[in-house]
Amino acid sequence: MNIAVIFGGKSDEHEVSRNSAVNVIDGLGSDRYEITQIGITKEGRWYQTEAATDEIASGEWENRADNKQVCLPADPTIHGILVFDDEERAAVKHIDCIIPVMHGDNGEDGTIQGLFELAEIPYVGPGVKASANCMDKSFTKIIVGEIGIDQARYCVIKRKDFADDREGEIMNALSTNDGKLPLFVKPSSAGSSVGASKVEKKSELETAIENAFKYDDKVLVEEMIVGREMEVAVLGNHNPKASYVGEILSAGEFYDYDAKYNNPESKTRVVDDIPVGKQKEIRSKAVEIFKALDCRGLSRVDFFYTEEGRVVFNEINTLPGFTNISMYPQLWEAMGIDRPTLLDSLIKLAMEEHSTTS
C-alpha cells in the first residue's frame, strides 16, 4: 500500500508539521508501507522527496537536488500525484491513502481536504466541513454551545468591525466577563496557541487584539478559566473511543507556542489524581463533542478542570501533533497502542470512511 505523507505548508506551524511528519514516517515503517514523502515549502511548492527524517526535521530536505516537483490533480481518474522530471514531463504515481501531517491554514481548515475529496483519494482525519468548523473556534463554540457543553464566555471581533469602531469593539471585549480581567485574546483560526495573549490590564487589550489580527481576520476574546488543562485523544469514525485523560503542566504562565515547543520545563502526563467519575465525564464529553462536530478518524479535545470540579471545553484539534512532546500519540501509548498500531488504525479508518462515502 502506497501512503503519501504530506508535510510543511505555508502556515505559521510549518516547523511543527515537519517534526510531526518525522514521527509519522518512522511509525509507518518502510518495511510495512511504500511511503511517498511530499513536502510543501513555505512558498507553497510541492515536491516529492527522498530526504532522510533528520533532513525533514531541520528543513534541509528542500536543498536536495533529487527532489521532484509534484502536483495532486483533482481528477479522480488519476487517483494519485503527477511527478515531473527535469523536462517537465509528468508521470502518474498511484496513491492509496494520504496522511496530511499539516497544521494551521490550508492544512487542517478543510482546504486541502477538499482537494483530497475531489481527487477521491482516502485520507486520514476529518472531512471538509468538520475541519473548517473546528479550525474556526468561533464556529466550534456555536456548535458546542448548542449541545449544552460548558465553555468560557467569549466574544468575536472581526477586522472590519475593529477598523470601523475600535473603541466600541474594545468595550465589547471588556464586557465579555462583565469587565473582569484577565482575558485571553487569540486568533479564531490558529493552532498551537499562535498569536494568543493573556490580558491583565485594560491598556493591554488593544495591542493583544492587534497582535491576533496578524494571524486571522477574526479574533476571539475569552474569559479566563482558572483550572488544570486536560486533553483527550479521540479515535474512530462512527463509534469513536476516548483515551485516558492527559494533563498539560506548562512551564509558562499559559500553554502558548513558546511554552509548548521551546520550553523543556513544560510537561504532559496521564491524569491519576482526579475522581474517576470526573475522568469519565471528561472522556464522555470529548466523544460527544467529536460527534457533534461530525469528526472522523482522529481529534484531540481540550478542557479545563477547575477546583470546583467544573469541566469546561477549551478547543478541539482535528490534526493533532505527532511530535516527540505531542499528547495525542502519548495518550494512546498509555493505553497500550503504540505509534505503528495507531497509524495502522488511522489508515484503516480512512479507507473505511472512503468506501462508505464514495
What burial letters (b/e) apply to 254-280, b meaning 16+ CB within 10 Å?
A: ebbbebbbeeeebebeebeebeeebbe
59 is in an annotated binding site: no
Among residues 131, 188, 189, 192, the one annotated as catalytic is 192
Active site residue 197: no
Active site residue 326: yes
75 is in an annotated binding site: no
Predicted pLDDT at 47 = 99
Among residues 11, 13, 62, 188, the one annotated as catalytic is 13
Beta carbons within 8 Å of 41's beta carbon, 6+ residues apart: 8, 47, 62
CATH superfamily of 154-223: ATP-grasp fold, A domain (3.30.1490.20)
Top-level CATH class of 2-123?
alpha beta
Question: Per residue in 129-153, pLDDT tens?
Answer: 999 999 999 999 999 999 999 999 9
Predicted pLDDT at 358 = 66
What is the arithmetic mean of pLDDT over 24-39?
Answer: 98
192 is in an annotated binding site: yes
Top-level CATH class of 134-148+226-357?
alpha beta
User: 57-61: long-range contacts at Cβ-Cβ below 8 A with a sequence spacing of 24 or more?
Assistant: 57/18, 57/19, 57/22, 59/15, 59/18
For the chain, helix, strand, coil in percent to 5 are: 35, 25, 35
pLDDT at 125 over 80: yes
Dihedral sign for Cα atoms in the order 101, 36, 334, 292? positive
226 is in an annotated binding site: yes
227 is in an annotated binding site: yes
223 is in an annotated binding site: yes
237 is in an annotated binding site: no
Asked if 132 and 91 touch (Cβ cutoff 8 Å), the reply is: no
Residue 193 banded pLDDT, cuts 50, 70, 90: confident
What is the arithmetic mean of pLDDT over 4-12?
Answer: 95
Phi, psi of 158 (to 5 degrees): -95, 150
Parallel, antiparallel, or unpaired for β 90-94 and 97-101?
A: unpaired
Among residues 108, 326, 345, 353, the one annotated as catalytic is 326
Active site residue 17: no
Residue 117 banded pLDDT, cuts 50, 70, 90: very high
Question: Per residue in 266-320, pLDDT tens?
Answer: 688 999 999 999 999 999 999 999 999 999 999 999 999 999 999 999 999 999 9
137 is in an annotated binding site: yes
Ordered by start, the domain boundaries in the chain are: 2-123, 134-148+226-357, 154-223
Predicted pLDDT at 263 = 47
